[in-house]
Amino acid sequence: MTKLYDTLIFDLSRKDRIGYQYQPKHLKEIHLPAHLLRETSAELPEVSEFDVVRHYTNVSQKNFGVETGFYPLGSCTMKYNPKINDELATLNGFANIHPLQPDSTTQGLLKIYYETQEILSEISGLKAYSLNPFAGAHGELAGLMIIKAYHEKHNDLKRTKIIVPDSAHGTNPASATVCGFEVVEIKSNPDGTVNVEALKEVLSDEIAGLMLTNPNTAGIFEKDISEISKLVHQAGGLLYYDGANLNALLGRAKPGDMGFDITHINLHKTFSTPHGGGGPGSGPVGVCEKLVEFLPNPIVVKKGDAYALDLAKDSIGSLGMFYGNVSVYLRAYVYLRTLGKENLKDIGGLAVLNANYIKDSLKDLYELPIQGHCMHEFVFDGLKDKSTGVKTLDIAKRLLDYGYHAPTIYFPLIFHQSMMIEPTEVESKDTLDAFINIMRVVARESISDPEIVKNAPHSTLVRRLDEVKAVKNPILKYKDIH
Amino acid sequence: MHKYLPHTQNDINEMLEKIQASSIDDLFCSIPEALRLKKDYHVPSQLGDWELTKHMQELANQNKELLIFRGAGSYDHYTPSAVKALVSRQEFLTSYTPYQPEVAQGTLQYIFEYQSMVCELTGMDVSNASMYDGATSTAEAMFMAYAQTKKSDILVSSTMNPKIIDVIKTYARYRNINVILIPSIDGVTDQAFIKENIKDKMGVIVSNPNYFGIIEDYQNLGEIIHQEDALFILNQEGQSLALLKTPGELDADIACGDLQALGVPLSFGGAYIGYLATKQKLVRKMPGRICGITTDVDGKRAFVLTLQAREQHIRRAKANSNICSNQSLNALFVTIYLSLVGKNGFKLFASESLNGAHYLYKNLLETKKFEIVYNQPFFKEFVLKASFDVKAFDTYLIDHGILGPLHIGDNNLLFAVTEKRTQEEIDLLVEMVVNFK
């Protein structure tokens, strides 16, 4: 059934079928002036409730989730999403609360907001947090706005440039541009770490700040971070921490101690909230003491025993209608309280152990461009044996045949055949061993039967897609099909 | 040991042996000694499942569930049970962005269905796969206008929700875009001001219904704006799209707004979902994800993210926006909601909100405790001026389990009624007004 299911909800539509039960109120029918009304109805499907349930159950079967199997997606930190998080975050006393209720009627929610801010401050070593940003990239934007507001307040208007290493996530340069900065890209060392000499060359009184993730996107800790921090600060710039890779540091080190002035944290990564097929996420932004006054509005403060929504003194402004993705940070809060100080400290260690275990178990067959211990993730530069012509893309697709999600591929851009693997701490040794075994099988197949790898996947619902055709002849809605 | 950490000491030992490390600490030798954490975090201790459940229930109980007559951007609508049940399927809930389309056809398919529905709702040619919320989608629409026209000034109606205006201003300030507010007359946008000031502007942003619940008449606005090659951006709340003239029918260039009203729970303001739809000619200026149909090597129909050259992971500093996620799961809420209510239910529920709001309006006026503020057509929200102490009134209602209207200054109250409010509930609010001393 599932395998053959290829129906759109619109295809199930039959005139006058309904999927809801509604008791009419029989209030007086109001007729708006005709010129204000839409001329044609929205052609939504007309289906029964069971049609909908069966349809979306079948659609769901075409997806790979964390509970389906191993999801070693580098830089994405695909952890198990605990059931208790979902259950407790959707209690009626959270789900049925209007955002414009008086503070006296939302004390529980405000308390959670406040405590989550405090815990994030402690973990990252920064002074204060706002949970308003809706996603990691939104947190970056907030952080950059804070950088700009800070320099403006000091009348330091020449600072129009943000430094971004070439190994950075694409959101870094994009956020800087959206915030009205000019991006200065610097070349990294071969292991993706910042080239301190290259940094020195671009530092000037026009630099507003530097964006870094640490460990970097190749899974390497910036060992020169204290010097980098000193140089940027001496030049009058601020240091921004992209929290995408924070998982590795849990219990081991704090970005604030390294000299970072601002950070965002992807709650959906490190703090185990569902990625939801691409959202909603949550990207709280944290700052050091001198930047607290710039946090996005509103902020949550504690006055005596009560919690209240307040406005920051020199706030960058509002970033959304209300107070961020509440349903997401509620889940993160439950996760933080489940682990507590006794267990949070083990996460970084076990995540790093798992990554090193996979790396060392496969480095005889896969090209390892950076030697030595990695942090929570690492990069292979394709197969060691390049003679077969099998590319990273092919290996990724072949893994799908064996029931594994593919690693992140062709990122970071500093290697041609990047394959970035991040197992996280939730995967057992048994799972890692099974994955290692399949990676070895695929490497052997690439030699014995390269065509089977190059033409993979074979057993998925659909096989390799013609992405060029999708761009050349865009079919972006149901009505474009017919 | 912890339930989320499966490693036994034996596993750890074997793994350390394999990687030739003497301890886990060894793996962190690249972190300079001075930066290594020497003590536990100063955070609360772990809670057992039952203790945590109790703790969260207590916190939930500190938030008062009320009978809601308040809107202003967040609405208490009906969510069918099937929506929550389907959205919580792990294949949807725990999957990642569909970068490996062969194993993400489920996400891609519902995004395609979502885009199709948004196009039906708005009468536009193309929709993206959703944005953070209605306010940020409006700010992104402004960036599209900026990219398209290369001009720096934009006109924004002062009748929009002030929270949306705040977000527009935040985004504009850091990109050196100049926001000029359009004054209002009797609660609606002064269109003569637009006509006089449209020259050299990148575009105009207006909303419908506006902050006061008023349905504005934008029939001739497109023409005025397009004469100067500026863009017409229309922010419209989700449920009203069932009844009101669509952005497409009004010749808007970009339609944007929030779809929370279509099945997404209140959740204290998030996570919600912004929509963004536009005309074919602007598709390459659009931010965010877009899903399209193609075929696989066997010629079979398949869904895939497309036009990715606009996006941050390809274009980096030259991308249309920095947005890397969408509100995928909330797009699923909306898609399933719209499937269940369908063509007729969508209209029916909007009409019931409309009828309920007008029924409340009429009955409130009959109490003689209010004055009419605007004499304008409205949808599910309206403003009345109270003749009593609104602050005490608010407290009085809350004491009786009701979240009453929002005070928007000058003793003006903004009421909201959705299809979920029964006649008895509306009558109760009126009775409360009558009894309020």
pLDDT digits (tens, 9 = 90+) for A207-218: 999 999 999 999
Asked if residues A109 and A97 have their Cβ atoms less than 8 Å apart, the reply is yes
Cβ-based contacts under 8 A for chains A and B: 667
Residue B137 to residues A132, A188, B18, B168, B327, Cα–Cα distance (Å): 16, 35, 50, 9, 12
Inside any domain, residue A58:
no
Q: Residue B437 corresponds to which tokens in the numbers above?
A: 């001393």
Cβ neighbourhood burial of B291 (10 Å; 0-12, 13-18, 19+): buried
Helix (H, G, I), strand (E, B) or coil at A159: coil
Q: State what percent of residues in chain B have pLDDT above 70.
A: 100
Show Cβ contacts of residue A396 under 8 Å, excluding neighbours closer than 6 positions: A406, A407, A409, A419, B100
**CA–CA separation, B380 and B341 (whole Å):** 19
In a domain, A12, yes or no: no
- Among the partner-chain residues B98, B292, B343, the one whose CB lies closest to the CB of A476 is B292
Which string of DSSP letters, residue by residue, matches A440-453?
HHHHHHHHH-HHHH
Of A20, A475, A476, the CB nearest to B345: A20
The answer to whether the CB atoms of B74 and A321 lie below 8 A apart is yes
Q: Which pLDDT score is estimated for B424?
A: 97
Is the residue at A275 inside a domain?
A: yes
Distance from CA of A134 to the nearest CA of B (A): 6
> Environment class of residue A2 by beta-carbon count within 10 Å: exposed (0-12), middle (13-18) or buried (19+)?
exposed
Contact state of A61 with B26 under an 8 Å Cβ cutoff: no
- pLDDT tens for B290-324 read 999 999 999 999 999 999 988 998 889 988 999 99
Query: Tell me, what's the pLDDT at B314?
Result: 86
Structure confidence at residue B269 as a pLDDT band (50, 70, 90): very high
The domain tally of chain A equals 1
Quote the pLDDT of residue A335.
98
Q: State whether A66 and B398 contact (CB < 8 Å).
A: no
Residue A70 is which amino acid?
F
Task: Show pLDDT as tens, one digit a residue, over chain A (482 residues).
Answer: 456 799 999 999 999 999 999 988 999 999 999 999 999 999 999 999 999 999 999 999 999 999 999 999 999 999 999 999 999 999 999 999 999 999 999 999 999 999 999 999 999 999 999 999 999 999 999 999 999 999 999 999 999 999 999 989 999 999 999 999 999 999 999 988 999 999 999 999 999 999 999 999 999 999 999 999 999 999 999 999 999 999 999 999 999 999 999 999 999 999 999 999 999 999 999 999 999 999 999 999 999 999 999 999 999 999 999 999 999 999 999 999 999 999 999 999 999 999 999 999 999 999 999 999 999 999 999 999 999 999 999 999 999 999 999 999 999 988 999 999 999 999 999 999 999 999 999 999 999 999 999 999 999 999 999 999 999 999 999 999 97
CA distance A386 to chain B (A): 24
Measured between CA atoms, the residue of chain B closest to residue A97 is B268
Inter-CA distances, A427 with A68, A408, A432, B88, Å: 13, 17, 7, 22
A253-285 pLDDT, tens digit per residue, is: 999 999 999 999 999 999 999 999 999 999 999
Residues contacting residue A100 through CB under 8 Å, at least 6 positions apart: B70, B72, B74, B406
Chain B residues inside the 8 Å CB shell of A90: 265
> Mutation test of the interface with chain B: which of A28, A254, A462, choosing the one with the most B Cβ atoms within 10 A?
A462
In contact, A410 and A392? CB cutoff 8 Å: yes
Domain span at residue A304 reads 84-340
Supply the DSSP string of A235-290, one letter for each residue: TT-EEEEEGGGGGGGTTTB-GGGGT-SEEE--HHHHT----TTT------EEE-GG
Contact yes or no for B41 and A319 at CB 8 A: no
Residue with tokens 């509002």: A318
3-state secondary structure chain B: CECCECCCHHHHHHHHHHCCCCCCHHHHCCCCHHHECCCCCCCCCCCCHHHHHHHHHHHHHCECCCEECCCCCCCCCCCCHHHHHHHCCHHHHCCCCCCCHHHEHHHHHHHHHHHHHHHHHHCCCEECCCECCHHHHHHHHHHHHHHHHCCCEEEEECCCCHHHHHHHHHHHHHCCCEEEEECEECCEECHHHHHHHCCCCCEEEEEECCCCCECCCCCCHHHHHHCCCCEEEEEECCHHHHCECCCCCCCCCEEEEECCCCCCCCHHHCCCCEEEEECHHHHHHCCCCCEEEEEECCCCEEEEECCHHHCHHHHHHHCCCCCCCCCHHHHHHHHHHHHHHHHHHHHHHHHHHHHHHHHHHHHHHHCCCEEECCCCCECCEEEEEECCCHHHHHHHHHHCCEECCEECCCCEEEEECCCCCCHHHHHHHHHHHHHCC
| A226 part of a folded domain | yes
Q: Which residues pair with A287 in a beta bridge?
A: A128, A262
Domain over B97-337 is classified CATH 3.40.640.10: yes
> What residues of chain A lie within 8 A of the CB of B12, using their CB?
350, 353
Using pLDDT thresholds of 50, 70 and 90, give the confidence band for residue B437.
confident
Beta strands in A5-134 (DSSP E): 128-130
- Among B27, B328, B348, the residue with its CB nearest the CB of A279 is B328
**Contact residues on chain B for A223, CB-CB shorter than 8 A:** 30-32
Contact A65 B91 (CB under 8 A): yes
Closest CA to B18 of A429, A365, A215: A429
User: Is the omega angle on the peptide bond into residue A457 within 30 degrees of 0, that is, cis?
Assistant: yes
Q: Which residues contact A362 (CB under 8 A, 6 or more apart)?
A: A380, A436, A439, A440, A443
Residue-wise pLDDT tens digits, A393-440: 999 999 999 999 999 999 998 899 999 999 999 999 999 999 999 999
The pLDDT, as a whole number, for residue B309 is: 87
CB A474 within 8 A of CB B283: yes
- Per-residue pLDDT averaged across B392-418, rounded? 98
Q: d(Cα A304, Cα A307) in Å, to the nearest integer?
A: 8
Residues of chain B neighbouring A334 (CB-CB closer than 8 A):
52, 56
Structure tokens at A159: 């600072």
Contact list, A32 vs chain B (CB under 8 Å):
215, 243, 354, 377
Å between B273 CA and nearest CA of chain A:
9
Angle B178-B185-B167 (CA atoms, 0-180°, nearest 5)? 35
Identify the three-state secondary structure at position A188. strand
Assign a CATH topology to domain B67-77+342-435: Aspartate Aminotransferase, domain 1 (3.90.1150)
User: A474 vs B283: CB contact, 8 Å cut-off?
Assistant: yes
Q: What is the pLDDT of residue A3?
A: 66
Instruction: Identify the residue among B25, B43, B305, B323 best suited for mutation to test binding to A, counting A beta carbons within 10 A and taking the highest.
Output: B43
pLDDT(B335) > 80: yes
Kindly list the domain boundaries of chain B, sorted by start residue.
67-77+342-435, 97-337
Edge-to-edge strand order for the sheet containing B274-278?
Answer: B126-127, B274-278, B254-258, B231-236, B203-208, B153-157, B178-182
Assess whether pLDDT exceeds 90 at residue B400: yes
The answer to whether the CB of B67 falls within 8 A of the CB of B409 is no
Cβ-nearest to A174 among B74, B312, B327: B312
Which residue in A16, A38, A225, A418 has the most chain B C-beta atoms within 10 A of its own C-beta, making it the best mutation to test that interface? A38
Can you give the pLDDT at residue A193?
93
Cα B97 to the center of its chain, rounded Å: 20
Q: Is residue A174 part of a domain?
A: yes
Using the 8-state DSSP alphabet, how is residue A30 labeled? P
Q: Which residue has the tokens 């409010």?
A: B421
Instruction: Estimate to the nearest angstrom the gap between the alpha carbon of B367 and the chain centroid.
Output: 35
Is the CB of B112 less than 8 angstroms away from the CB of A8? yes
Residue A110 · residue A300 · CB < 8 Å: yes
Asked whether the beta carbons of residue B268 and residue A97 sit closer than 8 angstroms, the reply is yes
Burial of A244 (0-12, 13-18, 19+ CB in 10 A): buried
The pLDDT score that the predictor gives to residue A2 is 57
A253 domain-assigned: yes
- CATH number of the domain within which A171 lies: 3.40.640.10
Evaluate the CA torsion angle A84, A88, A89, A91 in order and state its sign: positive
Asked whether this complex has an ipTM greater than 0.95, the answer is yes
Chain B residues within an 8 Å CB radius of A145:
170, 174
